[in-house]
């Protein structure tokens, strides 16, 4: 843990992940093959989409989502700014224009349906939503808007495996959805992601693009001695079986991990509500959520971070708004709520094995500095 007594995140790993990797290595097939196929099948079952496609990372999944949705040069895509840059980069990869939308409020850090509707033009072709911290965007209103203006919705669900909205898993509302298996996510494989859709055409196109546009996989050709053709200039966005074997173990642990995270969240809520100067986004959300991170809003955020660091508590900020970063200056729009929230935003440690004594220590340390 280095200098941190309490890190921001802990891997939910044990001997099972190690043994899974060893078994895959001993199988002599470590690139994309049977483990990837098994992972895709299991993932589509738990999320509830017809098709899942394992990828090298969530960024590649987002790129595939934008490509399969038919977004082209000059098209406008509505998106949040309070997100990781990959959400926005996937729009730029195809030459489209990101149009930043504000968040709903200090209590709900997800994209505002009102701002979405205000910014629709004749060039708007799609909406990318991001389910911040695992809490759902207002999908009822957003889907209504998408139908009214004939826009495609892509869900960046990198924070939200098994999170639900009105009895449905997030990632099942739009034309496609994307998940991340980055090292600090609920499902951790170091790098990795998943593209999901219910549209067969999108799945087939994404599968071709994932591996250089080649018509059959290496594993299939090995089994059946098939020939192959290249049907388009694709990419190398494949996941390998080593990471897939880890992901399969992580999937088995996911429900229990989310259950434990929910208990951690309840403890945070119990003790933080006594500190009037700390505001907790999504505080009234009561449902099945992944609780990927635990964000709070505090005055003098940078001073608070430094103090917590001295106390051995690692924190982070999710995220610096994309419209405030140098590369995206030409797409700048006024987003007053996003800017206000960012000035106060702080991410506290969140993982299933966080102990009660550690939570109390974090909260007490926070109380010392904010008072």
Residues 6+ apart with CB under 8 A from 32: 54, 211, 217, 218, 219, 238, 239, 240, 241, 244
Which one-letter DSSP state was computed for residue 240? P
pLDDT at 275 > cutoff 70: yes
Residue 289, CA distances (Å) to 36, 218, 282 in order:
26, 37, 11
| pLDDT at res. 1 | 40
Residue for token pair 């001997």: 15
pLDDT at 224 > cutoff 90: no
Strand partners, 154: 128, 176
Cα angle 193, 329, 182 (rounded to 5 degrees) comes to 15
Residues 6+ apart with CB under 8 A from 123: 74, 75, 76, 97
| pLDDT at res. 225 | 63
Please give, one letter per residue, the 3-state secondary structure of 2-34.
CCCCECCCCCCCCHHHHHHHHHHHHCCCCCCCH
191-201: average pLDDT: 98
For residue range 15-34, list pLDDT tens digits in order: 999 999 999 999 999 999 99
Mean pLDDT (the chain, rounded): 96
State the distance between the two ends of the chain, measured CA to CA, in whole angstroms.
28
Can you give the pTM of this predicted structure? Answer: 0.96
Residues 6+ apart with CB under 8 A from 355: none
Handedness of CA 181, 135, 117, 149 (dihedral sign): positive
Residues 6+ apart with CB under 8 A from 223: none
Domain 254-370: which CATH class? alpha beta
In contact, 35 and 24? CB cutoff 8 Å: yes
Please give, one letter per residue, the 3-state secondary structure of 170-235.
CCCCCCEEEEECECCCCCCCECCEEEEECCHHHHHHHHHHHECCECCCHHHHHHHCCCCCECCCCC
For residue range 129-172, list pLDDT tens digits in order: 999 999 999 999 999 999 999 999 999 999 999 999 999 999 99
Delimit the domains of the chain by residue range: 15-250, 254-370
CATH architecture of 15-250: 3-Layer(aba) Sandwich (3.40)
Q: How many CA atoms lie within 13 A of 342 on its CB side?
A: 17
Fold match flag (15-250 vs 254-370): no
Token output for 226: 């098939």
pLDDT at 3 > cutoff 70: no
| pLDDT at res. 166 | 96
Q: How many CA atoms lie within 13 A of 57 on its CB side?
A: 9
pLDDT at 220 > cutoff 80: no
What is the secondary structure of 68-128 as a DSSP string?
HTT--TT-EEEEESSS-HHHHHHHHTTT-EEEEE-BS-SS--SBPHHHHHHT--TTEEEEE
pLDDT at 2 > cutoff 60: no
212-229: average pLDDT: 78
pLDDT at 278 > cutoff 70: yes
What angle separates helix 241-272 from helix 356-370, to the nearest 10 degrees? 60
In angstroms, the CA 134 to CA 240 distance is: 26
Pairing state between β 193-197 and 51-55: antiparallel
For residue range 303-332, list pLDDT tens digits in order: 999 999 999 999 999 999 999 999 999 999
Which one-letter DSSP state was computed for residue 312? T
Token output for 298: 């505090």
């Amino acid at each position: 843990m280095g200098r941190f007594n309490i890190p921001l995140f802990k891997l939910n790993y044990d001997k099972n992940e190690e043994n899974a990797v060893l078994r895959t290595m001993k199988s002599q097939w470590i690139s994309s093959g049977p483990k990837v196929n098994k992972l895709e099948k299991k993932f589509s079952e738990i999320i509830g989409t017809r098709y899942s496609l394992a990828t090298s990372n969530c960024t590649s999944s987002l790129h595939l989502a934008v490509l399969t949705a038919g977004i082209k040069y000059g098209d406008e895509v509505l998106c949040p700014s309070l997100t990781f840059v990959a959400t926005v980069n996937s729009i730029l990869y195809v030459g489209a224009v990101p149009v930043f939308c504000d968040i709903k409020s200090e209590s709900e850090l997800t994209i505002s349906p009102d701002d979405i509707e205000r910014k629709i033009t004749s060039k708007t072709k799609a909406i990318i939503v991001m389910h911040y911290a695992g809490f759902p965007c207002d999908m009822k209103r957003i889907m209504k808007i998408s139908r009214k203006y004939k826009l495609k919705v892509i869900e960046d669900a990198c924070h939200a495996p098994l999170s639900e909205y009105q009895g449905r898993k997030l990632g099942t509302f739009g034309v496609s959805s994307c998940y991340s298996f980055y090292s600090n996510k609920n499902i951790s494989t170091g790098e990795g992601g998943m593209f999901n859709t219910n549209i067969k055409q999108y799945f087939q196109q994404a599968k071709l693009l994932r591996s250089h546009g080649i018509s059959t996989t290496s594993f299939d050709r090995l089994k059946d001695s098939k020939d192959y053709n290249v049907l388009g200039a694709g990419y190398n966005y494949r996941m390998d079986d080593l990471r897939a074997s880890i992901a399969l173990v992580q999937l088995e642990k996911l429900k229990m991990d989310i259950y434990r995270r929910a208990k951690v969240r309840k403890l945070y809520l119990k003790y933080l509500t006594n500190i009037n100067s700390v505001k907790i986004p999504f505080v009234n959300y009561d449902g099945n959520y992944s609780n990927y991170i635990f964000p709070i809003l505090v005055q003098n955020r940078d001073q608070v971070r430094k103090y917590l660091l001295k106390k051995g508590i690692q924190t982070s900020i999710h995220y610096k708004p994309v419209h405030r970063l140098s590369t995206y200056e030409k797409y700048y729009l006024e987003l007053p709520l996003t800017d206000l929230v960012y000035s106060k935003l702080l991410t506290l440690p969140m993982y299933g094995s966080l102990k009660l004594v550690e939570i109390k220590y974090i909260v007490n340390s926070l109380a010392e500095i904010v008072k």
